Structure 1
Amino acid sequence: MHIEKHILDQVNEWLTPTFDNDTQEKIKEMMTSSPKELEESFYKNLEFGTGGMRGVMGVGTNRINKYTLGKNTQGLSNYMHQVFPGKKLKVVIAYDCRHNSNSLAKVVADVFSANDIQVYLFSDLRPTPELSFALKHLGCQAGIVLTASHNPPEYNGYKVYWEDGGQLVPPQDGEIIKLIEDLKYDEIRFQANENLIKYIDKEIDDAFVKSSIENASFDTSASAKDNLNIVFTSLHGTSIKSVPQTLEQAGYKNVHIVPEQAEPNGDFPTVKSPNPEEPEALTMALALADKLNADIVIGTDPDCDRLGVAVRNNEGKMTLLNGNQTMVLMTAFLLEQWKKQGKINGKQFVGSTIVSTPMMLALADGYGVECKVGLTGFKWIAKMIKDFPELQFIGGGEESFGFMVGDAVRDKDAVAATLLICEVAAQAKANGSSVYKELQNLYVDFGFYKEHLVSLTKKGIEGLAEIGQMMIDLRLNPLKEIAGQRVVMVEDYKNSTAQNLFTGEVETMSIPKSDVLIYYTEDGSKIAARPSGTEPKIKFYVSVNAPLDKVENFSKVEAELDSKIKNIIVALGV
């Protein structure tokens, strides 16, 4: 097999004494036994995407290992010294249940300490939202969490948070990436200053749980809490450290944890994928719910920032909600609570993203608050909070099963969101209703919006090229009609243009650039195409809507919307 020169140059650099013997031996072995794997490991540098850096663990520039993470950390340390001159610098580091997460977290801590930066390192795995909380709580300039969220077991990752508690956004991300790219591997300082590494746990845990309860509980009576029968699964992840404790301290005693999935385990042995977006991940929890006649099932992903929710439908059958539905339910509940407390005065906002349900705009409008819409990823919602200090942030979410309650945590947070959806369920049940009925009532009040996601996986070098080509084709041959409906407007976030296809008028969009195309049709449907920033996937998001005059017509209108979605998917050829 022919390997290109630039790849061989990278390989040869990794065979120098800068790299340890173990690394060099693994590379030599790959050179003889698996040249294809060698090429995949070195053909590019791992990049920062929407959720930081994520990749397969192993040796090489395109892999997660002590050298790629060390280089990130050295670059970040240099940047912090540049932008905070003369300041005593502090960072906090957390990690999840993945293989090597604890040892890689220590490598990252070592490099920061070697650069004269005070490190607070969690003594054991912790949820990602707790890292965001701890960063602000401890007054740090930056934070790192080692996680690959719900990716397969061979992955790990590195997310960077800034002093406001949110993930890196422009221009910082670009400036830091440039510093990292300009670094040589022999410039990484691996020699720890152990005096600058402090281990943290219970004190921060207690403050985090207390804050979650303050933000996400709303005058639910003790009897309503006792009466709610909850099944919870941590899917072998970090939420076991916080969610049961938060629910218990908030007064929810009737909580049943799926025992086979309670032990943190980076192999995720009981699921195909530890992703609550995948119905299969909640199979065991749903079985337990039926056995115990539970009202609600909640499952969180390995780093505890996403949650999947199932509730009983009108026939009493457990039904999985999608991320748009849980987001709408929680947002409507928050808005109603704020309204009851007389706290809405036009100076509040909720947050959403360009590929999430447009129903968020209808909800916000109905309650007289603003709905700010940003690019995919909670770093953009965190940035809204920072950019508009004159407005109060109520809550916000995105379709990929994430939600943020208030601004104590500046990232999607399944700890507070789990408590919040239990509040929704407990109050609904106490009022003779249910979560499912509450959702139907919202559709009557604000319009019935239904969403569907098609996700195509394309792995490796060829897959990346294929995804790129699909987006090029969509731009070169823009869709004029979809499933018999004329396209009214096309938004191209890569070129920052919004074109009205009826008038030909082109507007410039002020939102940051991103490789996303969104089509709006004359019947109010919305179709978005977007390559994933963290996985080898291209995603197509379909949103359709229709009025619902009364709950009795729910099934009929839902069937019409399902048919519309099916026709759109056929028309797109995906």
Structure 2
Amino acid sequence: MEKIIAANVNKWLEGNYDAETKEGIKKLQENDADELADAFYKNLEFGTGGLRGLMGIGTNRINKYTIGMATQGYANYLKKCFSGAISVAVAHDSRNNSRTFAEITANVFAANGIKVFLFESLRPTPELSFAIRHYGCKGGVVCTASHNPKEYNGYKAYWDDGAQMVAPHDKNVIIEVEKIASVDDVQWSGGEANIEIIGKETDALYLDMVKGLSVYPEVCTAQHDLKIVYTPIHGTGIMLVPDVLKKYGFTNVHVVEAQRTPDGNFPTVNYPNPEEKETMSIGLEQAKKLDADILLGTDPDADRVGIGVKNDKGEWILMNGNQTALLAFNYMIEARKAKGIAAPNDMVIKTIVTTDLIDRIAEQNNVACYNVLTGFKWISSLIAEKEGTENYIIGGEESFGLMIGDKIRDKDAVSAVAIICEMAAYEKNKGRSLFDKLVDLYVQYGFYKESLISITKKGMNGAAEIAAMMEGYRKNPPATINGIAVKYLLDYELQVGKDLVENKEWKITLPKSNVLQFELADGTKISARPSGTEPKIKFYFSVNTTLASAADFHATEKVLDDKIEVIIKEMNL
């Protein structure tokens, strides 16, 4: 390892890197050997979704050199796949250095003879997906690290359908990127004439598309004064969310001023993720003060949305991603049916770690519900496969992501905010709240409660520790959890399902993915999945029971929450 680190350091000190970078390396050599080692012990991996990591000097960091080399490899692959004129779209979020990285990306593509549609300034990630499809591009890149802390940045690569890449392109791009052995292999400049700046005209087209998703525009008009509090959490949502709410007809929108301005330092939060209560706390305070109907927050690249509502006690609560998805899926099924626009071939798509209550609702309403691997690229891939035979309505996953309609092919918090506000207006028109609706769904279909914990393993040994945890569960699955027999083990990496009680096996037809699921005899489901973009392993828990009436909600919720806590403790997590 020391030889690898030394070789990488020397390559940078002796190569065509700028003086500031070389001076930074020397300072690390003198003052921080551990940081130097972590920055140079490996190359930052270009995974199936692109790059994500800490910003800084080194082969294992996000910087102009790793961004440029990744783009050169991607450009080489595009030129292998497509003949004639090739174009791409490039966007970025509000993070520190994101504009610089987007311009480097655009310059490298352009120097390779590829036309680039570069957004004039920061834009939500879903608009990048929309632009790829609208302009007929062969690919695209957005420079973002989504909801990660301020020290991170990233590079998400897209294909010609506006989705992140799946096989064979995902692996083939990685091969091409790994062939770029030196910064000298990169064409850094010389094609500036190939860059076209886009902005407001694309915004207008995108906003029109989102407006077209509305099922009950007349309800939005009737409830135009729905009191909405919105926070962009210093991100790109400010560019489009207020505009789309205005387009839907809402006139009583309050943006959280302390978090309005795009800022890559995210000064009011530790972690710019709408999943976190601390991140949404300023918005919650404003919602309380204004006695709002709903609170919404989007992450820095505006592909995730978190919502806050008042419960039956008048207390403000944040819904988890499964609850948000449940409400959105149900609305698109129920409202289309009530409006008379439901089609017999309607379908919805969710991921294998998203609440199974959606499956039950879809089944009861005769709507096909498909389960795919985690990640919107798999939802998009299935849409493409079913195109022309089935009518896609909505897709989503528990990590606060929704994709409504098929005009884009990635999760979209801008359209999600619009539809969620329409949902709130739809219920308010009946004298009810979204919380009331959620409880009604639990009474009607069953009370499913989900929880997630993430365990972070940083540094050089982190990946090995996570791999060891997964291997342990794979080779020695527990026979019981919380005194309940583990009936099924689903191993998506080996593509094998096992009935541990009856000793039977079957093949899982989804693509390989390092995910394990334990299904217990009482319907409990536990999933383990290492993150593909962060040094984390995530554990998903789902328990369920019947809910006799709305009056029993809080007592029943406590029973389910306690059950999850016991399971977590028993698994030593």
The TM-score, its normalising length taken from structure 1, stands at: 0.97
Which residue identity does 1:399 align to in structure 2?
E
> CA RMSD for the aligned pairs?
1.3
**Cα distance in 1 for residues equivalent to 2:49 and 2:397:** 14
Q: Deviations over 1:240-290 (max 9, x none)?
A: 000000001110110000001000000000011110011111111111111
**Cα distance in 1 for residues equivalent to 2:305 and 2:47:** 22
**Cα distance in 2 for residues equivalent to 1:320 and 1:259:** 20
CA gap 1:407/1:222 in 2 versus in 1, 3 angstroms? closer
Work out which of the residue numbers 178, 186, 194 in structure 2 matches 1:196. 194
- 8 Å CA contact 1:101–1:146 kept in 2: the answer is yes
**Cα distance in 2 for residues equivalent to 1:215 and 1:141:** 26
CA gap 1:222/1:394 in 2 versus in 1, 3 angstroms? closer
Structure 1 residue 32 displacement after superposition: 2.1
Work out which of the residue numbers 62, 73, 78 in structure 2 matches 1:80. 78
**Cα distance in 2 for residues equivalent to 1:111 and 1:331:** 41
Structure 1 residue 50 displacement after superposition: 6.1
Work out which of the residue numbers 200, 212, 225 in structure 1 matches 2:223. 225
Which residue identity does 1:412 align to in structure 2?
K
Work out which of the residue numbers 150, 163, 168 in structure 2 matches 1:166. 163
Where do 1:174-193 residues align within 5 Å?
Answer: 174-185=171-182, 186-193=184-191
Q: Deviations over 1:387-420 (max 9, x none)?
A: 1112111001111111111111211100000001
Where do 1:523-534 residues align within 5 Å?
Answer: 523-534=522-533
Count of residue correspondences: 571
**Cα distance in 2 for residues equivalent to 1:415 and 1:48:** 28
Work out which of the residue numbers 325, 345, 364 in structure 1 matches 2:362. 364
Which residue identity does 2:317 align to in structure 1?
T
Q: Deviations over 1:118-159 (max 9, x none)?
A: 001011000000100111111111010000011111110000
Q: Which residue of 2 aligns with 1:329?
A: 327
Q: Which residue of 2 aligns with 1:244?
A: 242
Q: Which residue of 2 aligns with 1:138?
A: 135
- 8 Å CA contact 1:220–1:426 kept in 2: the answer is no
Which residue identity does 2:137 align to in structure 1?
C
Percent identical pairs in the alignment equals 47
Work out which of the residue numbers 282, 291, 294 in structure 2 matches 1:293. 291
**SS of residue paired to 1:92:** strand
CA gap 1:222/1:388 in 2 versus in 1, 3 angstroms? closer
Which residue identity does 2:333 align to in structure 1?
L
Which residue identity does 1:243 align to in structure 2?
V
**Cα distance in 2 for residues equivalent to 1:437 and 1:163:** 42
Q: Which residue of 1 aligns with 2:313?
A: 315
Structure 1 residue 97 displacement after superposition: 0.5
Structure 1 residue 16 displacement after superposition: 2.5
Structure 1 residue 221 displacement after superposition: 2.9
Where do 1:396-545 residues align within 5 Å?
Answer: 396-545=395-544
- 8 Å CA contact 2:221–2:249 kept in 1: the answer is no
Structure 1 residue 337 displacement after superposition: 2.0
CA gap 1:200/1:375 in 2 versus in 1, 3 angstroms? same
Q: Deviations over 1:527-558 (max 9, x none)?
A: 00111111221111000111223222222321
**SS of residue paired to 1:506:** strand
Structure 1 residue 223 displacement after superposition: 5.2
Which residue identity does 2:394 align to in structure 1?
G
Structure 1, 257-266 or 189-198: larger mean CA deviation = 189-198
Where do 1:363-402 residues align within 5 Å?
Answer: 363-389=361-387, 390-402=389-401
Q: Deviations over 1:367-401 (max 9, x none)?
A: 11111111111111111111111211100111111
- 8 Å CA contact 1:50–1:377 kept in 2: the answer is no
Q: Deviations over 1:16-38 (max 9, x none)?
A: 33322222222222222212111
CA gap 1:468/1:12 in 2 versus in 1, 3 angstroms? same
**Cα distance in 2 for residues equivalent to 1:252 and 1:527:** 40
**Cα distance in 2 for residues equivalent to 1:331 and 1:361:** 10
Q: Deviations over 1:79-100 (max 9, x none)?
A: 1111112x21000100000111
- 8 Å CA contact 1:114–1:189 kept in 2: the answer is yes
- 8 Å CA contact 2:137–2:160 kept in 1: the answer is yes
**Cα distance in 2 for residues equivalent to 1:386 and 1:178:** 25
- 8 Å CA contact 2:73–2:176 kept in 1: the answer is yes
**Cα distance in 2 for residues equivalent to 1:547 and 1:384:** 32
Q: Deviations over 1:56-113 (max 9, x none)?
A: 111211111111111111111111111112x210001000001111111111111000
Q: Is residue 106 from structure 1 mapped to residue 103 from structure 2 by the alignment?
A: yes
**SS of residue paired to 1:425:** helix
Structure 1, 177-186 or 125-134: larger mean CA deviation = 177-186
Structure 1 residue 469 displacement after superposition: 1.5
Structure 1 residue 14 displacement after superposition: 1.5
Structure 1 residue 461 displacement after superposition: 1.3
**SS of residue paired to 1:126:** coil
Structure 1, 376-385 or 457-466: larger mean CA deviation = 457-466
CA gap 1:445/1:192 in 2 versus in 1, 3 angstroms? farther
**Cα distance in 1 for residues equivalent to 2:115 and 2:76:** 14
Where do 1:57-72 residues align within 5 Å?
Answer: 57-72=55-70
**Cα distance in 2 for residues equivalent to 1:508 and 1:343:** 37
- 8 Å CA contact 2:5–2:37 kept in 1: the answer is yes
**Cα distance in 2 for residues equivalent to 1:192 and 1:242:** 33
Q: Is residue 27 from structure 1 mapped to residue 35 from structure 2 by the alignment?
A: no
Q: Is residue 115 from structure 1 mapped to residue 112 from structure 2 by the alignment?
A: yes
Which residue identity does 1:490 align to in structure 2?
L
**Cα distance in 1 for residues equivalent to 2:51 and 2:398:** 21
Q: Which residue of 1 aligns with 2:50?
A: 52
The TM-score, its normalising length taken from structure 2, stands at: 0.98
**Cα distance in 1 for residues equivalent to 2:233 and 2:412:** 16
- 8 Å CA contact 2:225–2:251 kept in 1: the answer is no
Structure 1, 220-229 or 390-399: larger mean CA deviation = 220-229
Which residue identity does 1:228 align to in structure 2?
L
Which residue identity does 2:477 align to in structure 1?
P
Work out which of the residue numbers 328, 332, 337 in structure 2 matches 1:339. 337
**Cα distance in 2 for residues equivalent to 1:129 and 1:445:** 34
- 8 Å CA contact 2:163–2:410 kept in 1: the answer is yes
Structure 1, 46-55 or 130-139: larger mean CA deviation = 46-55
